[in-house]
Amino acid sequence: MPLAHVSLPVTSLPASTAFYLSALNPLGYDVFMNLERAVGMTVKYDGPDFWLHQCPEMKDGEKGNGMHVAFKGSSKRVVREFYEAALKVGGKDNGPPGERTQYTKGYYAAYVLDLDGNNVECVYYQPWWLSALQVAPSVVGVVVVAGVAWWGGRAGWGL
């Protein structure tokens, strides 16, 4: 993935760290580095790709500046778990888990507003060709069984 990291400005570093640790737990995130005015998070065995930083211009209670960040989920279940976890720790619904066909078929996402009003997305995208590959063995199996039955009947096997 070409993106190295994303950093969000927050009004309360401890509160936002707790929020994101819970919301991103289904994706495997944990704290990688804890600095005085920033916290770096990552998935196990990787470098920090998500940072929170205390924004000196923001006072507690002020809302964010319309920042948006999207995390990649590994399944629809993980997207739902992210959404539920984020709501439990103070996130606000900004779009429940579901298919977003306005983007493309197979785009499944959920959106929450974090404690500072930043729009946080978790998305699972399964391209159409991957769905086709998952269904292909069943389709091929049916075609093979039907072909063997037809050929066996013509050969007098009494199938």
Q: Same domain, yes or no, for 140 and 107?
A: no
Confirm whether 1 is domain-assigned.
no
Q: Give 104's pLDDT tier (boundaries 50, 70, 90).
A: confident
Q: CATH code at 58? A: 3.10.180.10
Per-residue pLDDT at 97: 98
The average pLDDT across 60-89 equals 84
pLDDT, tens digit (0-9, with 9 covering 90-100), for 28-61: 999 998 988 899 999 988 878 999 998 766 555 5
Confirm whether 65 is domain-assigned.
yes
Contact 30, 78 (CB under 8 A): no
One-letter amino acid at 113 equals L
**What DSSP string runs through 76-91?**
HHHHHHHHHHHHHTT-
Confirm whether 27 is domain-assigned.
yes
The lowest-confidence range among 82-86, 97-101, 129-133, 149-153 is 129-133
Q: Same domain, yes or no, for 95 and 150?
A: no
3-state SS of 126-146 is: CCHHHHHHHHHHHHHHHHHHH
Q: Which domain holds residue 43?
A: 6-126
Q: Same domain, yes or no, for 23 and 58?
A: yes
In whole angstroms, what is the distance from residue 156 CA to residue 61 CA? Answer: 81
Q: Same domain, yes or no, for 112 and 142?
A: no
Per-residue pLDDT at 51: 92
Q: Same domain, yes or no, for 77 and 22?
A: yes
Q: What would the two tokens of residue 133 be?
A: 């590959």
Confirm whether 61 is domain-assigned.
yes
Q: pTM of the full predicted structure?
A: 0.65
Confirm whether 149 is domain-assigned.
yes
pLDDT at 129 over 70: no
Domain count, the chain: 2
The whole-angstrom distance between residue 75's C-alpha and the CA centroid of its chain comes to 7
In whole angstroms, what is the distance from residue 159 CA to residue 153 CA? Answer: 6
Q: Same domain, yes or no, for 140 and 122?
A: no
Contacts of 158 (CB under 8 A, 6+ apart): 152
In whole angstroms, what is the distance from residue 116 CA to residue 97 CA? Answer: 21
